[in-house]
Amino acid sequence: MKIDRLIGIITILLQKEKVTISQLAERFEVSCRTIQRDIENICKAGIPIVSMQGYKGGLSIAEGYKLDKTVLTKKEWQVILTGIKSIDSVSKTAYSKTLIDKFSSGKDTVLAEHDMILIDLASWYQDSLSDKIEQIKQAILNQEKISFIYYSDKGESERIVEPYLIVFKWAAWYLYGYCLSQNDYRLFKLNRLLRLQDTKTFYTPRKIPEGKLDFDRYFHTGVIKLTALFDQSEKYRLIEEYGPGCFTISKSGKLLFQWSFSNPEYLLSWVLSFGDKVKVIEPSELEAKIYEQAKNILRQYE
């Protein structure tokens, strides 16, 4: 759309000291003549564009002219609003409503249009989750340590942490901070975190070392190559989670699945979730663990 291109040109001119017509033409995939007409229209709208010839020449907004740099297109507003609404789903404050009230100028405003994308970041623990996020957010802003009880596969433990980030990853919410009990940076799943309290003790923010913000490393303990045969009835799950190219059809008609995993605990629970609809071929260590799990389950019902 022409109006989007005009706003795009203005935005570029606000961000750069100079830009040439040919650069703008290449950026918006139109002719130089079209860009020249666009510049004329921008000038008619009251925004003075200066053209300088020769070496290091180009277009720029006249020196001393001030223009709000937050000029956004309709699509950009929609993306911003969608993102803010997703945060609203786990926030005590409706930021999207405040934004609409501030920027809406009438019934036909783009901010009031029907939503095309809805992102709900909440969970079954929405109330307690919102409280935790709000409390941790305030602790980060105030640079105050927090304490809580944490439940993991190693048991229950008391933690005192310097909070740095609230992270949404792997379809769950986490707290990232420096654990004073472990003397290292840790990632804590919010749904396993109880009795959260503000210690009212201040901390001086640490400089997080490079690589420590690679959250995937908390789950990567090596590469495990899985080979397994799945029933045809499980095709939908394999496609949903790993795509249509993750398996081939074996001679027996089953789905031959081959994939690399980095988290052994997740891999075991994931395979077990298929019940008797899967047979592990490799690795043999995983096959043995599943066999032991199956025997333990049988004992529960003997």
User: Domains of the chain, with CATH numbers?
Assistant: 2-61 (1.10.10.10), 74-112 (no CATH), 128-216 (2.30.30), 224-300 (no CATH)
- Which is more confident, 76 or 266? 266
- pLDDT score, position 107: 43
User: Which one, of 286, 226, 213, 285, lies nearest residue 259 by Cα?
Assistant: 226
Written as six digits, the tokens of 255 are 């789905």
- Among the residue ranges 48-57, 133-142, 190-199, 289-298, the one predicted with the least confidence is 48-57
Rounded mean pLDDT, 8-33: 85
Rounded mean pLDDT, 276-288: 94
User: Which one, of 122, 120, 129, 121, lies nearest residue 193 by Cα?
Assistant: 129
- Which is more confident, 177 or 1? 177
Rounded mean pLDDT, 4-20: 82
| pTM: predicted TM-score of the whole model, two decimal places | 0.66
Q: Is the confidence at residue 112, as pLDDT, over 60? A: no
User: Distance (Å, rounded) from C-alpha 21 to C-alpha 24?
Assistant: 5
- pLDDT score, position 291: 93
* pLDDT (tens digit per residue) in 99-108: 766 665 444 4
Written as six digits, the tokens of 118 are 């809805």
- pLDDT score, position 69: 57
Rounded mean pLDDT, 218-226: 76
- pLDDT score, position 226: 95
* pLDDT (tens digit per residue) in 200-210: 999 999 999 88
- pLDDT score, position 147: 97
- pLDDT score, position 298: 92
* pLDDT (tens digit per residue) in 169-192: 877 899 999 999 999 999 999 999
Bridge partners, 198 (sequence order): 146
- pLDDT score, position 205: 93
- pLDDT score, position 232: 96
